[in-house]
């Protein structure tokens, strides 16, 4: 064991610590949310079909992020735990094998970009502009996907060691570059060609690659808690298995989100009738895509708290400090509820203003305003659930998060949405979201109580034995 100095995650007062680590991550998440919306805002100036193309691309992008974050969660949890145990070599070996896994995922998504994108879009739309725009966008994002995977890993290494300010720098820089390049490349400013949807994709990958380069530099210069050399990149089946044991449930959880989006779009297809020239379902898809972009402004900051809480919980689990774990849960839930309350009020009171960013026509507003008001109802429940699930991941129980996600998005939301669609009123379909969120919060609380009994409370007994 290496003689490591005590990390702030083990000694700083819990509320102050969560603010210290969480605020930079909240700021960076807000910037991330901004650039997610900016793509769609600019593309909405092209056509509604172009907006729908980006909405249909969301599951693919979500899968990329899901694989990257899943591996990142596994690395984050094990690395923070190793640092809490003062085991430097284990921390370094975890980081090195995380790099190996990210490279494997990069190759897989490049292959999908080359061969799988066209069939994916042709299964989801018959509108030629939507299909071709989506294919171009997703091909570029998949073939240059290394920026996503390697930037996420670099950010997770900084996060796991408590350096969330540096995480904020990498994420924000990449996002700001994307925001700046979007209008330049989409509309062809400064003498450049007008690239439209292609320009949005190119701006996205350039931002990701810059974030990756910056993450590498900051880890080398500012993160002495992770010290990588060639021997740490040696693949270890045991270590990879441990990372995936924690990370795969997170991957599955986000993959479930992509499947939910795909399935929900199919439910909305029930409201299309090309023969009668009624395409209400296409408008519903556009609203659904706009909702996901808008709600990211509310959810991303909460995920910032979640990410900080995950690292703190993992560190203090390794350090055998159960009271600090529970305090982080309490403060995190309070902060998430406050943020979600603000978001819910905005969606309830200003849905027309929010949708106005997407150049809506009268039909989109008619569908979208009640939809946003309905889908924001469960925001408070969702905030608490997100924080609880961060504790699950920090303590190596990512499968609990997977169970909650399955409950929310597959077991409840899609079947309920389908049943409500049988009414013939698309407005009823949106009620599937609050129903699903109440079910998932109930399961989250149940599993948290179980985790407390089996993994957190026993730490108190261990500490008592040590002191006596």
pLDDT tens readout for residues 299-319? 888 888 887 888 788 888 878
Predicted pLDDT at 4? 46
- Closest C-alpha to 145, from 215, 51, 65, 76: 65
In the predicted structure, residue 3 carries a pLDDT above the cut 50:
no
Per the structure block, which two tokens stand in for 156? 């997770």
Predicted pLDDT at 6? 55
In the predicted structure, residue 368 carries a pLDDT above the cut 90:
yes
Mean per-residue pLDDT over the chain, rounded: 83
DSSP state of 234: S
Predicted pLDDT at 231? 61
Confidence bin at 118 (pLDDT 50/70/90) = confident
In the predicted structure, residue 467 carries a pLDDT above the cut 70:
no
Q: In terms of pLDDT, which residue wins out, 136 or 79?
A: 136
Confidence bin at 468 (pLDDT 50/70/90) = very low
- Closest C-alpha to 33, from 256, 346, 307, 292: 292
User: For 194-210, what is the mean pLDDT?
Assistant: 91
Q: What percent of the chain has pLDDT over 90?
A: 26
Q: What are the phi and psi torsion angles at 272 (to 5°)?
A: -95, 140
Predicted pLDDT at 2? 43
User: For 188-205, what is the mean pLDDT?
Assistant: 89
Per the structure block, which two tokens stand in for 339? 């943020």
Is residue 403 helix, strand or coil?
A: helix
Q: In the block, which residue shows the tokens 């969120």?
A: 437
What is the distance, to the nearest Å, from the Cα of residue 256 to the centroid of all Cα atoms in its chain?
12
Predicted pLDDT at 348? 95
Q: In the block, which residue shows the tokens 């199919």?
A: 266
Confidence bin at 51 (pLDDT 50/70/90) = confident
Q: What is d(CA 328, CA 282) in angstroms, rounded to the nearest whole number? A: 43
In the predicted structure, residue 38 carries a pLDDT above the cut 60:
yes
Q: Are 110 and 145 in contact (CB under 8 A)?
A: yes
Q: Are 288 and 304 in contact (CB under 8 A)?
A: no
DSSP state of 233: G
CB atoms within 10 A of CB 295: 19
Q: In terms of pLDDT, which residue wins out, 163 or 430?
A: 430
Q: Are 347 and 373 in contact (CB under 8 A)?
A: yes
Per the structure block, which two tokens stand in for 261? 């989006």
Burial class (CB in 10 A: 0-12, 13-18, 19+), 279: middle
Is residue 361 helix, strand or coil?
A: coil
Q: In sequence order, which residues have a C-beta less than 8 Å from that of residue 450 and are 6 or more positions away?
A: none
DSSP state of 159: H
Q: What is d(CA 204, CA 185) in angstroms, rounded to the nearest whole number? A: 11
Predicted pLDDT at 140? 92
Predicted pLDDT at 1? 40
Q: In the block, which residue shows the tokens 């270590």?
A: 239
Predicted pLDDT at 462? 61
Q: In terms of pLDDT, which residue wins out, 238 or 10?
A: 238
Q: What is d(CA 407, CA 444) in angstroms, rounded to the nearest whole number? A: 10
Is residue 430 helix, strand or coil?
A: coil
Predicted pLDDT at 377? 93
């Amino acid at each position: 064991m290496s003689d490591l100095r005590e990390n702030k995650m083990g000694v700083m007062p819990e509320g102050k610590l969560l603010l210290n680590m969480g605020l930079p991550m909240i700021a960076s998440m807000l910037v991330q949310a901004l650039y997610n919306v900016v793509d769609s805002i600019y593309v909405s100036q092209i056509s509604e079909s172009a907006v729908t193309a980006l909405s249909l691309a969301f599951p693919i992008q979500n899968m990329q992020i899901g694989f990257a974050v899943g591996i990142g969660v596994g690395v984050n949890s094990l690395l923070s735990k190793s640092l809490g145990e003062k085991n430097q070599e284990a921390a370094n070996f975890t980081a090195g094998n995380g790099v190996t896994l990210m490279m494997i995922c990069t190759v897989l998504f490049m292959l999908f970009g080359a061969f799988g994108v066209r069939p994916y879009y042709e299964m989801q739309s018959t509108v030629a502009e939507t299909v071709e725009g989506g294919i171009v966008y997703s091909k570029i994002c998949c073939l240059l996907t290394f920026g996503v995977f390697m930037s996420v890993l670099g950010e997770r290494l900084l996060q796991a060691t408590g350096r969330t300010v540096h995480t904020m720098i990498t994420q924000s820089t990449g996002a700001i570059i994307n925001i700046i390049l979007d209008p330049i490349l989409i509309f062809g400013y400064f003498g450049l060609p007008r690239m439209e949807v292609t320009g949005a994709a190119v701006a996205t990958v350039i931002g990701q690659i810059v974030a990756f380069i910056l993450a590498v530099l900051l880890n080398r210069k500012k993160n002495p808690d992770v010290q990588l050399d060639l021997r740490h990149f040696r693949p270890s089946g045991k270590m990879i298995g441990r990372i995936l044991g924690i990370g795969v449930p997170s991957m599955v959880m986000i993959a479930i989100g992509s499947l939910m989006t795909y399935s929900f779009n199919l439910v909305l297809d029930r409201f299309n009738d090309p023969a009668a020239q009624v395409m209400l379902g296409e408008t519903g898809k556009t609203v659904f895509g706009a909702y996901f972009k808008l709600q990211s402004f509310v959810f991303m900051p909460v995920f910032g708290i979640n990410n900080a809480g995950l690292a703190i919980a993992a560190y203090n689990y390794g350090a055998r400090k159960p009271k600090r774990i529970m305090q982080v849960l309490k403060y995190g839930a309070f902060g998430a509820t406050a943020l979600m309350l603000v978001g819910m009020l905005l969606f309830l009171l200003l849905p027309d203003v929010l949708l106005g960013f997407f150049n809506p026509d009268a039909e989109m507003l008619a569908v979208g305003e009640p939809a946003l008001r309905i889908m924001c109802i469960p925001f408070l429940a969702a905030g608490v659930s997100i924080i609880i699930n961060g504790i699950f991941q920090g303590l190596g129980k990512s499968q609990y998060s997977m169970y909650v996600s399955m409950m929310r998005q597959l077991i409840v939301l899609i079947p309920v949405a389908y049943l409500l669609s049988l009414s013939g009123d698309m407005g009823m379909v949106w009620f599937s979201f609050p129903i699903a969120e109440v079910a998932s919060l109930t399961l989250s609380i149940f599993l948290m109580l179980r985790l407390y009994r089996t993994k957190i409370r026993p730490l108190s007994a261990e500490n008592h034995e040590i002191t006596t």
